[in-house]
C-alpha cells in the first residue's frame, strides 16, 4: 500500500472542517430545541446564542474558502468520474448552503424587528425592514435551506464511510487529524 | 369587503359626529393623519434593540402655537394592537405579566401643559396611565412642516416599565429586558386653517 505518500488535507483545512462540524451540529440541536420552547428569558437567551454560533459558522466558512484558494486541496483519490463530479458538486453546494443559512437567519431576525448583535459587541445592519409576510418567507427559507444541508451532510457522511470501509481508499483518512490516523492505521 | 353603500353610510355618520364635535364650544380637535402618524417603542432585550409599535390608537390633539393654554394632546392606545416580533411574542405581551390587556385594554395620556421652548421646540407635560398606574411624563417635541404643509410633531420619552408593573415574575430581571423603554411618537396634523 502507498499509505505513506498519500496526500492529506493541510492541518488548517482539517481543523476548520471539524470546527464547522461541531458548530453546525451544536447549532442544529440548539435551533431545533429552542423553537418549541414557550416564550421565556431562557428562550431569548438560546435564540441569541443560536445567532452568535450561526455568524461564527459564516466566518469559519469564509476562512475555509479563503484557505482553499491559498492552499489547494490534495488531488482526488482514484475513483469513477461520476463520483468525483458528485463529490465536487456536493462540496460546492455545502459551501453555498453554509453561507446562505446564516445570512437567511440574520435577515429573518431583522424582518421580525430584532437586531442581531454578534457576541453582544458588533451590531449587524438591518438589511430588510420589519415585515410580517417577509418574516414568514425568511423563516421558511431558513428551515428549507437547513433541511437541504442536513440531507447533503447525510450523503457526505455516508459517502465518506463507504470510501473508508468498503472502498478502503483513504478518502476519509486524509480529512482526519494525524493523531487519529496514526492510532488507527 | 363592505358594500359601497355601507361605506357611504358610515362616512355620513362620522361626518355628522364630526360636525357635532366641531360645534362643541371647546377648541376643536384637529384630525390627526393617522396613516402618517405612529406610536413606536424600542426596548433592549439581552443588549439588542427590539422595536415595535401600536396598530390602533386614538388621538385628540389641539395645537395652537399662539394659544398653548388652549392646546392639548390626548391619546388612547389599544394595547392589544401591539405589533412585535412575532405572534408568539404579541400573545405573551398581552398576558398578565406584561400589559394584561384583559384587565387594562387601554393606555391613556392626557397633557396638562404645553410649553414653548423657542424655535420649533415644545415641551408637553402630562399624565400617562398604563396598567392602572398613573405617572407624570414630560415629552420634548419638535414641530416641523412637511412638503405638503402638514405639521409633523415628533417626540420621544423614556419610561421605566417596572414603574407600571410591566414584565413581572420571570421577566422582571432587567438583564433580559431593560427597564427603560423609549417611546417615540410621530403625529402628523393637517395644515393649520
What are A79's three cell numbers?
A: 475513483
CA distance B44 to chain A (A): 10
- Residue matched to cell numbers 429586558: B177
What architecture (CATH level 2) is domain A3-183? Up-down Bundle (1.20)
From chain B, pick out residues whose CB is under 8 angstroms from the CB of A114.
Answer: 45, 48-50, 85
B59–chain A nearest CA distance, Å: 25
**What's the CA gap between B118 and B115, in Å, rounded?**
9
| Residue whose grid cell is 410621530 | B186
Q: Is the pLDDT of residue B21 over 50?
A: no
**Sign of the dihedral defined by the CA atoms of residues A13, A19, A23, A24, in that order:** positive
Q: Read off the pLDDT band of B51 (50, 70, 90).
A: confident
CA atoms of B37 and B65, how far apart (whole Å) = 20
Co-location of B118 and B184 in the same domain: yes
Q: Which three cell numbers stand for residue B87?
A: 405572534
Decide if pLDDT at B81 tops 50.
Answer: yes
Percent of chain B clearing pLDDT 90 (strictly above): 72
Q: Following CA atoms A21, A22, A24, A28 in sequence, which dihedral angle do they give, to the nearest 10 degrees?
A: 130
pLDDT of residue B12: 52
Closest CA to A138 of A11, A130, B12, B47: A130
pLDDT at residue B15 greater than cutoff 60: no
Cβ neighbours of B89 in A, within 8 Å = 39
C-alpha cell read off for A42: 431562557
Q: What cell numbers appear for A19 in the block?
A: 470546527
Does B74 share its domain with B104?
yes
Shared domain for B8 and B80, answered yes or no, is no
Answer whether residue B16 shows pLDDT above 70.
Answer: no
8 Å CB contact between B83 and B39: no
Looking at the structure, do residues B44 and B5 belong to the same domain, yes or no? Answer: no
Please tell me whether residues B168 and B119 are part of one structural domain: yes
Number of H helices, E strands in chain A: 5, 2
- Describe the crossing of helices A81-111 and A41-70 by its angle, rounded to 10 degrees: 140
Residue from A113, A124, A126 whose CB has the most chain B CBs within 10 Å, to mutate: A113
The residue of chain A nearest to residue B43, with distances taken between CA atoms, is A114
Residues B45 and B106 in one domain: yes
ipTM of the complex: 0.72
Closest partner residue to B173 among A41, A113, A115, by Cβ?
A41
B86 vs A112: CB contact, 8 Å cut-off? Answer: yes
The total number of structural domains in chain B stands at 2
DSSP state of B24: S
Chain mean pLDDT for chain A: 91
Contacts of A130 in chain B (CB under 8 A): 51
The enclosing domain of B178 has a CATH number of 2.40.128.110
Top pLDDT among A145 and B149 is at A145
CA pair distance A85, A137, nearest whole angstrom: 33
- The domains of chain A are located at 3-183
Mean pLDDT score, A95-122: 95
Residues B101 and B167 in one domain: yes
Q: Are residues B48 and B4 part of one domain?
A: no
pLDDT category, B50, cuts 50, 70, 90?
confident
Contact A117 B47 (CB under 8 A): yes
Residues B106 and B18 in one domain: no
Contact call for residues A88 and A82 (beta carbons, < 8 A): no
Taking contacts as CB-CB distances below 8 angstroms, the residues of chain A near B45 are 44, 114
The boundaries of the domain holding residue B11 are: 1-27
Distance CA B182, CA B173 (A): 18
Neighbour count for residue B65 (Cβ, 10 Å): 13
| Shortest CA distance from B50: residue in chain A | A114
What's the whole-model pTM score? Answer: 0.81
pLDDT of B123 over the 50 cut: yes
Facing residue for A39 by CB, picked from B48, B51, B92: B92
B156 and B85 in a single domain? The answer is yes
What residues in chain B have their Cβ under 8 A from chain A's Cβ atoms?
A: 45-52, 84-86, 88-89, 92, 170-171, 173, 176
Give me the total of CB pairs closer than 8 Å, taking one residue from chain A and one from chain B: 38
Asked which of A27-31, A167-171, B59-63, B177-181 is least confident by mean pLDDT, the reply is A167-171
| Cβ pair A114:B173 closer than 8 A | no
C-alpha span between B76 and B110 (Å, rounded): 9
What whole-number distance in Å separates Cα of residue A126 and Cα of residue A109? 9
If asked whether residues B152 and B70 sit together in one domain, one would say yes
Q: Best of A55, A106, A114 to disrupt the B interface by mutation (most B CBs within 10 Å)? A: A114
Same domain (yes/no): B18, B63: no
Amino acid at each position: 500500500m502507498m499509505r505513506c505518500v498519500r496526500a492529506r488535507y493541510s492541518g488548517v483545512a482539517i481543523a476548520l472542517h471539524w470546527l464547522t462540524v461541531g458548530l453546525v451540529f451544536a447549532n442544529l440541536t440548539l435551533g431545533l430545541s429552542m423553537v418549541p420552547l414557550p416564550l421565556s428569558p431562557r428562550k431569548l437567551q438560546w435564540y441569541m446564542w443560536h445567532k452568535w454560533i450561526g455568524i461564527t459558522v459564516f466566518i469559519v466558512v469564509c476562512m475555509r474558502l479563503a484557505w482553499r484558494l491559498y492552499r489547494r486541496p490534495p488531488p482526488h483519490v482514484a475513483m469513477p468520474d461520476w463520483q468525483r463530479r458528485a463529490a465536487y458538486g456536493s462540496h460546492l453546494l455545502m459551501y453555498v448552503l453554509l453561507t446562505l443559512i446564516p445570512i437567511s437567519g440574520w435577515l429573518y431576525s431583522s424582518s421580525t424587528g430584532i437586531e442581531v448583535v454578534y457576541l453582544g459587541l458588533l451590531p449587524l445592519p438591518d438589511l430588510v425592514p420589519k415585515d410580517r409576510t417577509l418574516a414568514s418567507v425568511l423563516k421558511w427559507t431558513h428551515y428549507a435551506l437547513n433541511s437541504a444541508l442536513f440531507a447533503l451532510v447525510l450523503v457526505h457522511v455516508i459517502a465518506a464511510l463507504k470510501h473508508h470501509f468498503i472502498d478502503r481508499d483513504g478518502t476519509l483518512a486524509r480529512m482526519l487529524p494525524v493523531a487519529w490516523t496514526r492510532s488507527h492505521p | 369587503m363592505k358594500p359601497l353603500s355601507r361605506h357611504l353610510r358610515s362616512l355620513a355618520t362620522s361626518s355628522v359626529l364630526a360636525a357635532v364635535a366641531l360645534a362643541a364650544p371647546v377648541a376643536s380637535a384637529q384630525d390627526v393623519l393617522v396613516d402618517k402618524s405612529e406610536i413606536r417603542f424600542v426596548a433592549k432585550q439581552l443588549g439588542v434593540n427590539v422595536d415595535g409599535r401600536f396598530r390602533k390608537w386614538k388621538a385628540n390633539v389641539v395645537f395652537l402655537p399662539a394659544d398653548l393654554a388652549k392646546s392639548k394632546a390626548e391619546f388612547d392606545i389599544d394595547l392589544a394592537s401591539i405589533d412585535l416580533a412575532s405572534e408568539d411574542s404579541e400573545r405573551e405581551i398581552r398576558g398578565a405579566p406584561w400589559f394584561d390587556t384583559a384587565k387594562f385594554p387601554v393606555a391613556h395620556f392626557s397633557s396638562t401643559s404645553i410649553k414653548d421652548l423657542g424655535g420649533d421646540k415644545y415641551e408637553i407635560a402630562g399624565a400617562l396611565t398604563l396598567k392602572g398606574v398613573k405617572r407624570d411624563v414630560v415629552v420634548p417635541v419638535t414641530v416641523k412642516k412637511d412638503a405638503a404643509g402638514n405639521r409633523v410633531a415628533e417626540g420621544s420619552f423614556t419610561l421605566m416599565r417596572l414603574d407600571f408593573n410591566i414584565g413581572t415574575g420571570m421577566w422582571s430581571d432587567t438583564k433580559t429586558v431593560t427597564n427603560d423603554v423609549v417611546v417615540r411618537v410621530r403625529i402628523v396634523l393637517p395644515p393649520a386653517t
